[in-house]
A and B are shown apart, each in its own frame.
Chain A
C-alpha cells in the first residue's frame, strides 16, 4: 500500500456530506444486521441459560415441549429412585416433578390477553435452579393456593403484585412473592405447589415433566438408556436440560435469523449501491489526481487499492456507528411468543464478540463490492487522458 492512508482519510473528510450520508446508509444496514443477530442470540441465551449442565429433564417422547407432555406418577416415582440422582440437602432425591400449563392474563396498559406459563413445582425446584432467588415477598407454602411470579410477569401483567390474586382453574391464587430468575425463561413463569395445581386442574396423576440433578454428568447416557429399556415407562425421554432448552429456542432463533438475513441482504444491496455511487463520484472528481499519481510512478494497483481502502473505510466507519447504535438495544427487552408453549417469553438483545466480528466483516465485504467497480475505473484510467481532464 504505497498511497498513504492519510490521503484516503482526508479525501473522505473533505467530502464530509457525501461521506456522512454513505456512512449513515451503511450504519443502518449494519444496525439491522446486528439487531437481528443480537435478537437470535438473546433468545438463545435466555433459553439456554435456563438449563443446567447436570440437570436432566424428563418429558414424554415425541412431545414438542412440556405443554404437550404427560408422565404418570408411577413412572415419576420409579425414576426418582435411581441412584445416579443426587440427593437434596434434606436427603431426598433432588428432583422436581412438575405440572406445566398456560393460562390467560391481562397485560398492564393495553389490557390485551396473553398466555402465561403456570408451573407447579416441588420444593426441590429451587435447589435444582440455584440462579432463582426471591426478589420480593416470600415463598409459597405447600398445599396452599399461594403462588409466586417471575419478574417479567410481575412487570407486565395486571393483578400480579404481591397481595393481589389471579384466577385460574376455577380457583383464586394469591401472589405472595416475586422471583428473580436472572433473565432466564423462568422470569416469564408463575410458580406454585405442583400437587395443589395438579388437583386444581384435575390432573392428579399426570405430571408434565420432571427435572432432576445428576451426581455425575457423565451418567446421563447410561440413565437415558436404562429408562428406554424399561417397558412400563419407556415413553419417557431424558434430555440434558441445556439441550432441551436449546431445542426449544432453535425454531424461533432460526426464524429470526432467516427473516433478518433476508431483510439485511436487501438493505445491503441499497447500501452497496450507495457506496458505489459515492465512490464513482469520488473517482470522477479526482481524475486529475489519479493521473498525477500515475505520472509520478504510482502503479494501477496502488490506485486500485487506495480507492478500495477508501470504500472499505466508509463501510468500516458505518459498521462502527451501526454497532454503537445496536449496542444500545441491549437495554430493551422484547417479549414474544415462545413457539413451543405459545406463552409469553421475555428476552433481550445480546451482543457477543462474534456478532461484532460478523458485522465488521459484513461491512467490509459491502465496501469491497461497492468500491470494486469504481476502483477498477480509477485504476484503468489512461494517464494522458486523466491529466487532460478538467
Chain B
C-alpha cells in the first residue's frame, strides 16, 4: 500500500451489529482504496450499510474485522482517545440534519472544533472567518441556527467541517433535507472544496443529481460494494 496517491485504504472490512444475541451482518469483507483528492459518492438502497461504512472511515465506529488506513495511519488500531484526537485533526463531518448546536451562533458553531486545538484567539478568529467566507456566510456569523434557512445551516455545518483544515470530508446525505435549489448550492460548494481546497470528499447520497457532481460513484448493496 505504498501508493502515495492513496488517502484511504479499506481492507477486508466486515461489520456486524448485535441485537440481543442475534448477529446482523451489515458489511462483509469490503476492500477498496480512495485516491487523494477524490470526490466519491456512495449510493445504495436504504439499510445497505452506507452510513455504517462512512462512520468506519471517519473513525466514529469500529469494524468487526479488517483494517482502515487513512494517510498512512491505521485508525482501527487507535485507542478511543487517540482516535478522538485523530478525528479532530483529520476529518470534517457534514450531517443530513446539519447537527449545529442550536444555542450557539453560526460563528460559535464553526469555532467549536478549534476549541480542541492550541490556536491563539486571533488565529481561531481568522480560521472561523475564512471558513465562513468560503461558504459565503461571513455576514451571518452572529445568527443562531434557528435564524438561518436549511441550506444556510448546512453551509455553516460545512464551514465547521473545514475550519480545522482536515484532509477528509465525510458527508452523510448532505442534501437529504434540502429543497432542489439549496441542494444544488451545497453540491456546488462541495465541488469547489474538492477542486480548490483539495479536500477528499466521501459523500453518501440517494440523490442521483448530487452523485453526478462526484468523480466516482460506488454502489453498496447487501453488504457488498460495486
Contact = CB atoms under 8 A, between A and B. Distances in A.
Contact of A297 (B97, B101, B108, B113): B113
A7 B103 contact: yes
Interface in B40-96: 55, 58, 60-61, 80-81, 84-85, 87-89, 93, 95
A295 B60 CA distance: 6
Contact of A296 (B61, B80, B93, B97): B93
A4 B115 contact: yes
A126 interface: no
A327 B152 CA distance: 50
Contact of A299 (B61, B84, B104, B113): B84
Nearest to B92: A296
Nearest to B90: A297
**Most chain A C-beta atoms within 10 Å of own C-beta, residue among B58, B95, B101, B103:** B103
B99 A298 contact: no
B148 interface: no
A3 B99 contact: no
A297 B99 contact: no
Nearest to A9: B103
Consensus secondary structure, chain A interface: helix
B84 A298 contact: yes
Given A383-B60, A384-B55, A296 B103 contact: no
A113 B103 CA distance: 62
Size category of the binding interface on chain B: 20 to 34
B102 interface: yes
Interface in B95-154: 95, 97, 99, 101-104, 108, 112-113, 115-116
Contacts of A291: 99
B34 to A, nearest CB: 20
B95 A294 contact: no
Contacts of A298: 84, 116
B88 to A, nearest CB: 3
Interface string A281-298: 000000011011111111
Contacts of A14: 102-103
**Most chain B C-beta atoms within 10 Å of own C-beta, residue among A11, A289, A295:** A295
Contacts of B88: 296-297
A292 B80 CA distance: 16
Given A295-B87, A299-B81, A6 B108 contact: yes
Contacts of A294: 60, 84
Contacts of A7: 101, 103-104, 108
A290 B7 CA distance: 29
Interface string B153-194: 000000010000000000000000000000000000000000
Nearest to A383: B60
Nearest to B86: A297
A288 B84 contact: no
A292 B60 contact: no
A296 B95 contact: no
B81 A10 contact: no
A11 B103 contact: yes
Nearest to A10: B103
B61 A292 contact: no
A313 to B, nearest CB: 14
Nearest to B60: A383
A20 B108 CA distance: 26
A293 B99 CA distance: 9
B62 to A, nearest CB: 10
A325 interface: no
A2 interface: yes
Contacts of B103: 7, 10-11, 13-14
Contacts of B104: 6-7, 10
B60 A2 contact: no
A4 B108 contact: yes
Contacts of B60: 294-295, 383-384, 387
Contacts of B80: 300
A54 B28 CA distance: 91
Given A289-B101, A296-B87, A297-B88, A2 B116 contact: yes
Given A10-B103, A384-B60, A387-B95, A3 B115 contact: yes
Contacts of B101: 7, 289, 292-293
A300 B60 CA distance: 13
**Most chain A C-beta atoms within 10 Å of own C-beta, residue among B81, B87, B160:** B87
B99 to A, nearest CB: 4
Interface in A1-34: 2-4, 6-7, 10-11, 13-14
A297 B166 CA distance: 13
Contact of B58 (A13, A288, A295): A295
A285 to B, nearest CB: 11
Nearest to A302: B116
13 contacts: A3-B115, A7-B108, A14-B102, A288-B97, A289-B99, A293-B112, A294-B84, A295-B58, A295-B87, A295-B93, A296-B88, A296-B93, A384-B61
Interface of B: 55, 58, 60-61, 80-81, 84-85, 87-89, 93, 95, 97, 99, 101-104, 108, 112-113, 115-116, 160
4 cross-chain pairs, A with B, having the tightest CB-CB distances, nearest first: A297-B88, A10-B103, A292-B99, A383-B60
